[in-house]
Chains A and B, each alone.
Chain A
């Protein structure tokens, strides 16, 4: 039954991918990308990867779609037709695809307990996590503690992406220049639409609350800083769409957002440095408390908070960078 469902999802995934490549309507392509991410999230869930599924649904299907639409508002709605026949790229893609398909013949079967990935460090993670860290969600233990360097790297990738987007999008406008008239649609929001506004008012507190739940429940169930950051940012973006971008910026001004971006990354790094000062290695949380298990838990909560703060700040910075530009320019 599960395998049938997985096959159905993968088939839909291929159909959606072909449709994304085929369509020249960029708006339709963005919507299809959202559907693609949702199918992918369902796929991850079928594979029992609930944490990844949550990330894919929140970031891929949710926030990315909004950011793509924001970018689309600044560009043309249709793809420019290709000038020449792309034979060389087609050849490269075909050769690569053939190689990848050939390589999959050597792959172990799905769920094979003897596969190298299940024989290497995974058994150690599963058997030692209750003793070393004592949290039920081993994924969080792996992400936050055992592979803390990788997660730190991810946070800095997100950080660098935000800096890049802000450089590109705010490069050519004079500092302090108000580029939009006060009654532009993005400034007004949907204030005169009663139903979305009231429903939004009802839902936004719960969306933020759910984000905090995902943030702090990451030790016990699927969740963590990345997902929570995306959900909280989605709540604030909804507020910006309904009440106008100005109100959202008044609640969370740009300097605050930039401080969130830098502060989140800094908090993560500082936890690592404090570990060094307390006599451990970089990001060795065991030294943070008298008891090494408590130290690990404190460390994971702190770095997850850093991740959540940084991701929230980055996503909101990028959203406002898109929304602040006048499409006419």
Chain B
């Protein structure tokens, strides 16, 4: 049973690290702001689920697991929201720049 839990949590750690690593590569390699944010925001949520889930399996049924669940819920709410706010700010900034510079440039 313990071995199975260990294997499951390490699989989750592996998935989480891999997803976050891919996200980091995406942030570095993607060409525009929105594609970069796309790489960062999705992998951020999935990576957090996987890594925190792995730690929860290690913690077992305890207060620590409950606290980790609270952290996970907090991250699942705030991380997409901050991505939304960032994308929204970028759209507004683009709109403002387009208004201040009337001639279209490529």
Nearest Cβ distance between residue A202 and chain B, in whole angstroms?
7
Looking at the complex, which one of A190, A193, A203 makes contact with B77 (CB distance below 8 Å)? A203
**Interface segment out of the listed B8-16, B41-49, B78-86:** B78-86
Indicate if the CB atoms of B77 and A196 lie closer than 8 Å: no
Looking at the complex, which one of A190, A193, A203 makes contact with B74 (CB distance below 8 Å)? A203
Chain B contacts for A190, CB-based, 8 A: 85
Nearest Cβ distance between residue B40 and chain A, in whole angstroms?
14
Indicate if the CB atoms of A202 and B85 lie closer than 8 Å: no
Chain B contacts for A202, CB-based, 8 A: 77
Give the distance in Å from the alpha carbon of A203 to the alpha carbon of B84 in the complex.
16
Indicate if the CB atoms of A203 and B85 lie closer than 8 Å: no
Does B88 lie at the interface of the complex (its beta carbon under 8 Å from any beta carbon of A)?
Answer: yes
Chain B contacts for A203, CB-based, 8 A: 74, 77-78
Chain A: CB-nearest residue to B77:
A199
Does A195 lie at the interface of the complex (its beta carbon under 8 Å from any beta carbon of B)?
Answer: yes
Chain A: CB-nearest residue to B81:
A199
Q: Which of B54-93 contact A (CB under 8 A)?
A: 74, 77-78, 81, 84-85, 88
Q: Count of A residues near B, CB < 8 Å?
A: 8
Indicate if the CB atoms of B85 and A193 lie closer than 8 Å: yes
**Chain B, interface SS category:** helix
Indicate if the CB atoms of A196 and B74 lie closer than 8 Å: no
Give the distance in Å from the alpha carbon of A202 to the alpha carbon of B78 in the complex.
10
Q: Which of A147-190 contact B (CB under 8 A)?
A: 190
Q: Which of A195-217 contact B (CB under 8 A)?
A: 195-196, 199, 202-203, 206
Nearest Cβ distance between residue B58 and chain A, in whole angstroms?
15
Chain A contacts for B81, CB-based, 8 A: 195-196, 199
Indicate if the CB atoms of A199 and B88 lie closer than 8 Å: no
Nearest Cβ distance between residue B78 and chain A, in whole angstroms?
7
Give the distance in Å from the alpha carbon of A195 to the alpha carbon of B85 in the complex.
9
Which of B74, B78, B81, B84 has most chain A Cβ within 10 Å?
B81
Q: Which of A291-319 contact B (CB under 8 A)?
A: none
Give the distance in Å from the alpha carbon of A203 to the alpha carbon of B77 in the complex.
9
Chain A contacts for B77, CB-based, 8 A: 199, 202-203
Chain A contacts for B88, CB-based, 8 A: 193
Q: Which of A31-76 contact B (CB under 8 A)?
A: none
Q: Which residues of A contact B (CB under 8 A)?
A: 190, 193, 195-196, 199, 202-203, 206
Beyond known contacts A190-B85, A195-B81, A195-B85: 14 more, CB 8 A cutoff: A193-B85, A193-B88, A195-B84, A196-B81, A196-B84, A196-B85, A199-B77, A199-B78, A199-B81, A202-B77, A203-B74, A203-B77, A203-B78, A206-B74
Q: Which residues of B contact A (CB under 8 A)?
A: 74, 77-78, 81, 84-85, 88
Interchain residue pairs A-B with the least CB separation, the first 10: A199-B81, A195-B84, A196-B85, A199-B77, A196-B81, A195-B81, A203-B77, A193-B88, A202-B77, A196-B84
A-B contact pairs, 8 of them (CB 8 A): A193-B85, A195-B84, A195-B85, A196-B81, A196-B84, A196-B85, A203-B77, A206-B74
